[in-house]
Amino acid sequence: MTPRAQTAETLPHPLAGKRMTGAEMIVQVLVDMGVKTIFGYSGGAILPTYDAVFRYNDEHRDADGNAPIPLIVPANEQGAGFMASGYARASGLVGVCMVTSGPGATNTVTPVRDSMADSVPIVVICGQVPTGVIGTDAFQEAPVSAIMGSVAKHVFLVTNPDRLEATMRTAFEIAATGRPGPVVIDIPKDVQNWVGEFQGTGLLPIHAYRQRVDALVASEISPPAAKSFFEMLRESRRPLIYAGGGVVNANASEALRRFSQRFQIPVTTTLMGIGAFDTTEPLSLQMLGMHGTPAANYAVEDCDFLIAVGARFDDRVAAVPEKFAPKAKKIAHFDVDPCEIGKVKAVHWHNVGVLERDLCQLIAWADRHKITTDFGPWLTEVADLKRNHAMNYDRTSALIQPNYVLEEINRHARGEAIITTGVGQHQMWSAQYFDFRQPRLWLTSGSMGTMGFGLPAAIGAQFAHPEKLVIDIDGDASIRMNLGELETVTTYQLPIKVVVLNNFGDGMVKQWQKLYYQGRLSATDKSLHRKDFVKAAQADGFDYAVRLDQKADVPRVIREFIQFKGPAFLEVIIDTEACVYPMVGPGMAYDQMITGDFIPSRTTVKDPDAPGDNSMF
């Protein structure tokens, strides 16, 4: 039930009129919003609310002694923010993070910005110094509104306790509606200690925001617009769907699959859109972009009608906008955010609205008008691209290739496990070599590219889906950013499988240095040469902690690792020279894609020796 729907209820809240502290009201609103898990770290300015959580749980335990709203404690607040994000990404619900003032709040800046960049709905509740000393540089004070205002979807500072309830409900509404995103609530300690009557209903009067959301809901595809879309489709011979994370966020994956199947249009997804379309389906081209599959990128080069669905033409996909989809005579764009239309690439047709409904309406319109399509020759070309330019790597090497390890894990996961990643080469290999049959199985930091995301996100995802297999694929450099969360895994006895692909350094940066900086490994060969990850995992309570360094042992060890019943840790010593291919270099178009030594290319491209016009990392 949405917060706005709750206010329309005629029956009063059973606790309406009861006198409560502000902290108790915070907890009661969380319960009313359906929150099942809180991730956070305590501290002085948030103690009243932490105590209220403790008392609520103590009074409402079930017959087995389980708390209704457990509070999960990480190693640090950044971990808590990423756990809330992982929970939200895996469940589609709003994740909740609760931290103290000052450094507690500032440690969540990165996960807040990460959630904003990837349109993830979380609510971050920050304790704040008492109202009367705000602005005096009091102990553990930080200007949360000023800091978070530029990285969050919205920030509230609650100085009027009478508005605390309404602010809490409104935060959930803003986080979950329209284009989802993070909302921060800064609550002074005296507001938490204040005592007043609980209303059980009410929202803040954010009329302009609600008008925009209502307009979005009301913005259905008109018959003339539908007719125009299908005229473009009828003229097309090589249509291609380019689907992004907006499909997953809108819970529109099933509608996208129906749309693709109904008209027999191939689908490629962005990094964030992975899982929106079943990667094992014949119509799937998997990921496009800088490290996209050759078949996907070649299909983008060849298509004559590009249909962008919940995607934003970001720089990792359309680095050179004028050269992106160069043969596309028409481009259509579906999105929830009007700001994305025409921002990067001009389009010929667009619709801003509710994605699932809009795709279903187009299918219904086509059914009523008996529209049929025949893209047989194009589908044959796509099948040939997938067969002739398949992903590949050095399968004869005596060294362990990361691709081989991920292929072997994928055999056990079968496209049904939740895969989280850090950021770097391991992230791209995972995107390339894992299958995903459903959405919300692929959790990664896309736009921000935040190292250290994978492990805490896996923890959040496991709490969201305790029944699922959750695997964190990480790198030696990425996992050290939040290495302390290994102990969180074992503290809560989460059966998470943690894989560290160890190439002794910052592999992705080293790859760029080799390609564009004549191999000068400035500060990238420094890291973790002496780190014994297995001993670290054992010290943090992992009963299964193994180092894999022999290629012949890969199948056996992977099987034992996946089948282990509890938390499991696996360090794999991979080829330190392994690179991620394909690669579309900075400032390059898809026809300049480098495919490496083991993937057939349809063009001759020499490895660049200098950055292109756009040298964005």
Q: Tell me which residues are annotated as active site.
A: 77, 139-140, 189, 508
How crowded is the C-beta side of 302, counted as CA atoms within 13 Å?
A: 17
Place of tokens 């329309």: 8
Selection from 68, 54, 29 nearest residue 198 by Cα: 29
Selection from 317, 307, 369 nearest residue 344 by Cα: 317
Give the C-alpha distances (Å, rounded to integers) separating 609 from 158, 513, 516, 531, 576: 54, 10, 5, 33, 21
| Residues facing residue 572 across a β-bridge | 501, 548
Q: At what angle do helices 554-563 and 402-413 cross, to 10 degrees?
A: 40
* Amino acid present at 556: R
How far from chain centre, in Å, is Cα 28? 29
| Residues facing residue 288 across a β-bridge | none
Place of tokens 């708390």: 67
Number of neighbours of residue 262 by Cβ within 10 angstroms: 16
Order of strands, sheet of 267-269, starting from the edge strand that comes earlier in the sequence: 284-287, 267-269, 239-243, 305-309, 330-335, 349-352
| Residues facing residue 39 across a β-bridge | 72, 97
∠ CA 186-37-9 to the nearest 5 degrees? Answer: 75
Asked if residues 460 and 420 have their Cβ atoms less than 8 Å apart, the reply is no
Number of neighbours of residue 365 by Cβ within 10 angstroms: 17
Give the C-alpha distances (Å, rounded to integers) separating 460 from 131, 483, 563, 565: 33, 15, 21, 19
Place of tokens 């304790």: 127
Residue 100 DSSP SS3: coil
Give the C-alpha distances (Å, rounded to integers) separating 272 from 2, 121, 401, 490: 25, 15, 25, 29
Rounded to whole angstroms, how far apart are CA atoms 145 and 178? 22
Asked if residues 548 and 554 have their Cβ atoms less than 8 Å apart, the reply is yes
Give the C-alpha distances (Å, rounded to integers) separating 42 from 77, 125, 148, 238, 344: 9, 11, 20, 56, 43
| Residues facing residue 330 across a β-bridge | 305
Whether the upstream peptide bond of residue 402 has omega within 30° of 0, thus cis, is no
Selection from 211, 196, 172, 181 nearest residue 5 by Cα: 172
Asked if residues 188 and 22 have their Cβ atoms less than 8 Å apart, the reply is no
Residues comprising the chain, all counted: 617
